[in-house]
Structure 1
Amino acid sequence: MSAICGKWELCSSENFEEYMKAIGVSPENIDKAKKSLESNSKLVHEINGSGNSWSIKTTTNAGEKEIKFNLGEEFSTATLDGRPVKVTFSVDGDQLVEIQKGDGFETKNVRSVSGNELTAIMTGNGVQCTRKYKKI
């Protein structure tokens, strides 16, 4: 899993707006997200992990958010638009799997690395989004 650690800049995103609608993001927050979370926004994830202790720091043109977690342990946090969620991370082979459960939605985010590219496949309420990142 060491390949997933590092800094990753978003370079493409498919079906993100439809995914956000499916998981209940408000139209106002979708408009905000399009400015700070799309591929031209310089969004960067910094992923660090050692054993069961991990962190993901997300930096956008709107600010920063960092979550720290232990694999297999559910914790409470908030989505980037402020909705409360329960989150559990696990490792499945060479994939980092994130399950988010909130009011009226559940999403599964699977991150995997091939070379210098990280792919995140996000599936929520039956809608799938694919986001690709390059290592920086």
Structure 2
Amino acid sequence: MADKFDGKWQLHASENFEALMAKTGCPDESIRTAMKAVKDTTLEIFHEGDKWTFLNHTVFGARPAVFQIGVPTPTTTLDKRPLTATLTLEGDTLIRHATGDGFSVKHIRNVVNDEMILILICEDVVAYRRYHRVD
């Protein structure tokens, strides 16, 4: 079931993401820049066994992040703030727990047909992002 996440995904909808970015302490200028470029955001996901690679293409540039299932991994936010993230696969759901300086965000990914739904939770703020699969 993990194979359903593999591929290239185009962001097509985002709800409450601005509030989530603010909750994590993201600078206002970075939030404004990111919100203007929703349609220009793509994500490539591929895995081999327990090794997963996420390649984000955003206004902040292209950034790979590599995770081993269950292993805490140092990485950065898209605006380059340090954090530690742990990726798990629970049934049909891909979950990433990320903790940075003063914040923690849970990323919950599910694929339904050719749409990937990402739910992000930071304390009392919940954001949604929807991606279409592109070939």
What TM-score results when the alignment is normalised by the length of structure 2?
0.94
Aligned mate of 1:77, from 71, 75, 83: 75
2:99 paired residue number: 101
> Alignment identity in percent?
34
Letter in 2 for 1:126: D
- Alpha-carbon offset, residue 14 of structure 1: 0.5
Secondary structure at the counterpart of residue 18 of structure 1: helix
For residues 79 and 125 of structure 1, the distance between their equivalents in structure 2, rounded to whole angstroms, comes to 17
- Per-residue CA deviation, residues 104-124 of structure 1 (Å, 9 max, x unaligned), is 100000011000000000001
For residues 126 and 92 of structure 1, the distance between their equivalents in structure 2, rounded to whole angstroms, comes to 23
Name stretches of at least 5 consecutive residues in structure 1 with no aligned partner: none
Name stretches of at least 5 consecutive residues in structure 2 with no aligned partner: none
- Alpha-carbon offset, residue 61 of structure 1: 4.0
Letter in 1 for 2:109: R
What TM-score results when the alignment is normalised by the length of structure 1?
0.93
The 8 Å contact of residues 33 and 59 in structure 2, kept in 1 or not, is answered as no
1:50 paired residue number: 48
Letter in 1 for 2:19: E
Distance change >3 Å, CA 55–CA 96, structure 1 → 2: same
Aligned-pair Cα RMSD in Å: 1.1
Tell me the number of residue pairs that the alignment of Structure 1 and Structure 2 aligns.
133
